[in-house]
Amino acid sequence: MSRAVAPLLAVTVALVLADSAVVTLALPDILLELDATVGQVAWVLISFNLVLGLGAVPAAIGSVRVRPQLVSAVGIAVFAGASAWCAAADSIEVLIVARCVQALGGALALVGCLELLVAEWGERVGVGAWVTAGVVGTAAGPVAGGLLTQAISWEAIFVAQVPFAALAVPAALAVRAVPDLPPDRHRPAVRPNLTLALLSAALTAALFLLVLLLVQGWGRSPATAALTVSVVPVAALAARPLARLFRPPPELEVAVGCLLVAGGLAGLALPPSAHLVWTVAPQALVGLGLGLTVDRLTSQAMEMRLPRAHHAAWTIGARHVGVVVGLAILTPVFTADLREAEVPAQEAITALVLDAPLTPDSKIAIARALGDELADQRGQIPDLHRAFAAAELEPEERPAADALERDLDSQLERAATYAFRDSFLIGAGLALAALLVMVVPGRRRAS
């Protein structure tokens, strides 16, 4: 058990921070199964990030006089119980409340696990493991969630977390004594935390909007989307060895990372077509930028500041409040752009159907099937293959119908790509704003 203690705690950190985006690819299934509205489903994401962002610092302050072992164990136990509650939720309201409780437990677990990892692995390795676990969890969350949703169900996302968290509770209690720390005499590091908040808002476009584009816009399955966005965590892991190889100054490393994130998001805004290959290079840039910035900024915010958990909590707060701000900025933009794209897309689809070399009866049957499919999907992208199968066309008209289906599919993909463009560009602007925070010199204190 002793050898497994620290790895279990690191996995717990990754699990908690993965939950900021782990349900992204499950949102369409949650919307349908729990009979929710789009606004309610959005709160499944927002509630967790908001509570974790606002609760991290109070959790760290409240844990001053309590042993980190106990803080971690209680937090992990609450997180595990709330995860099981999420899986059992039979309404969207219950799921949102369970997500809030999950975030409260996660806040306690994060601030407690930091001190325990330091106690197990020492200052340098322990802090590094805590930071790296957070980066990997944040980037890999959508991947894991998408694969579990496709293979089993959205409930499996939360069920899978319970055994890992349950094992981490005794692991937290098994850690040897943690040294007492002096009172906090340092103010939070404003610049690194503000940069983290802006970057997190920008990364929302890559970790949230991209998977929506792939699934809702381009009609890919959750598993396909999950495998596609796995480029981000892989590139994030590759960033640290590259940084150690070239050893740039910390400020330059962060600046390059911000530029990479901005460039990657700009690339996602302007793909030549809806082929998945066009997302690979932009995602790699985003992942490299994520790996170069988040752990470096977190380390800067915590450097030489004790107790560590207080300043780590500020970084958690900055990151997750940044996610909420990103959702608040980007969601209305892409929602409005989607609405604006509906009329031109419908007109183009109508023209394609009218111009198709099919009999009038077949055109009417296809139009009705498309209308029924769109009604069943509650305004989401219709399943064209199912609609055309429901039209019950004559065999001799199938080749022309197949060509029409391909044309309609291309039209829908173009409309969706255009609708997400502005949101990705705004995300790129947020990454550039983070760069400005780092490079613009601050006022020096009078000596």
Q: 16-26: per-residue pLDDT in tens?
A: 988 888 888 78
- Class assignment of domain 1-174? mainly alpha
Question: Residue ranges of the domains in the chain?
Answer: 1-174, 187-442
Residue 444 has pLDDT above 50, yes or no: no
Residue 160: partners with Cβ closer than 8 Å, 6 or more residues away? 144, 148
| Domain 187-442: CATH architecture, name and number where available | Up-down Bundle (1.20)
Residue 217 pLDDT exceeds 80: no
Q: Which pTM was predicted? A: 0.78
**Rounded mean pLDDT, 398-420:** 73
Coil, strand or helix at 242 = helix
Q: What value does the mean pLDDT take over residues 57-63? A: 82
Work out the percent of the chain whose per-residue pLDDT is above 90.
18
DSSP 279: H
* Joined tokens for residue 22: 């782990």
195 CB neighbour count, 10 Å cutoff: 28
Model confidence over 139-183: pLDDT tens digits? Answer: 788 888 888 888 898 899 999 999 988 888 888 888 876 655 555
CB atoms within 10 A of CB 152: 12
pLDDT level of residue 392 (50, 70, 90 thresholds): low
Inter-helix orientation angle 92-121/161-173, to 10° = 40
Closest CA to 318 of 139, 197, 438: 197
Question: CATH topology of 1-174 equal to that of 187-442?
Answer: yes
Is the Cβ–Cβ distance between 83 and 162 less than 8 Å? yes
Buried/exposed 232-267: b ≥16 CB within 10 Å, e otherwise: bbebbbebbeebeeeeeeeeebbbbbbbbbbbbbbb
Least confident range from 12-21, 104-113, 119-128, 411-420: namely: 411-420
**In the predicted model, is pLDDT for residue 4 greater than 50?**
yes
Of the ranges 200-214, 253-267, 368-382, the best mean pLDDT one: 253-267
